[in-house]
Amino acid sequence: MQVYLNETNKMVKKGQYKEALQRFIWFNEHALEYDESMTGVRLSFALGYWKELGDIYPPALTAMKDLRNKKIKLLTDNKESINLFQDISAFDKTLSEDSITAEVFKLIHQKYPYLADRCWIFAKESLFETKEFGVIKNYITNPLTEYFAIKKDYKLQISLFDPSKEKELYNTFREGFVLKCLRLIEFAVWINNEKAAKEIQSSAINIINDTRLREILP
């Protein structure tokens, strides 16, 4: 399947946009039938390549949104599937349309609460991005516990490579940590847990002394 994807990218470079689009659609819908190890690639690199094609060939972007919308309809028409929601979330992330993931999650939170519990991990980032704190409070009761998980993930990320050799990736992880902390502090304040907000702020500043972290609380 990786060879198939590589060949599709070569077709894009040759200007064979229509043919490449059909292959991207097929890959998304059928790759796992042939190789289950493509799960990660299917929802990351493959969608990224498809989006790059959409940037130069508008029908590809339209097709991408159409397939995403088809998945949303399947999910909301009683096909209760965590895999469908994961797909929708990945499409929205690639398309920079986090608000759609948030809206779909709010719907299943009301309609299928047991499914929402399993989909939360894929919706969390979008819900924080769109500041849906009223929904988030149902899944995060202790902001400090969430912060400790964020800190643990960040330390693991930066331990896996040499910052001097991979500075761009290092900076990406740092920015991600800061943004997650800022949003979590906002959430803690929203639920009137200022003690947790200040503890998160203090700990995060000790890790990354960022102006935004220093200024978010008075």
Res 164: pLDDT: 80
End-to-end C-alpha distance for the chain, whole angstroms: 53
Flag the least confident range among 10-14, 35-39, 200-204: 35-39
Percent of the chain at pLDDT above 70? 100
User: pLDDT digit string (tens) for 168-185?
Assistant: 888 999 999 999 999 999
Task: Give 77's pLDDT tier (boundaries 50, 70, 90).
Answer: confident
Which pLDDT score is estimated for 33? 92
> Cα separation of 168 and 106, whole Å?
34
pLDDT score at 87: 97
pLDDT at 103: 97
pLDDT tens digits for range 138-164: 999 999 999 999 999 999 999 988 878
Residue 95: the pLDDT is 97
pLDDT at residue 123 greater than cutoff 80: yes
Average pLDDT over residues 121-149: 97
Mean pLDDT (the chain) is 95
Q: How is residue 72 written in tokens?
A: 């949303």
pLDDT at 80 over 90: no
The residues, any chain, with a CB within 8 Å of residue 67's CB and separated by 6 or more, are 25, 28, 29, 91
Parse the chain into domains and list their residue ranges: 140-218
Least confident of 60-74, 118-132, 162-176, 202-216: 162-176
47: pLDDT strictly greater than 80: yes
pLDDT attached to residue 79? 76
* Residues contacting 204, CB < 8 A, separation 6+: 147, 151, 177, 178, 181, 185, 210, 213
| Contact status, residue 68 vs residue 88, Cβ threshold 8 Å | yes
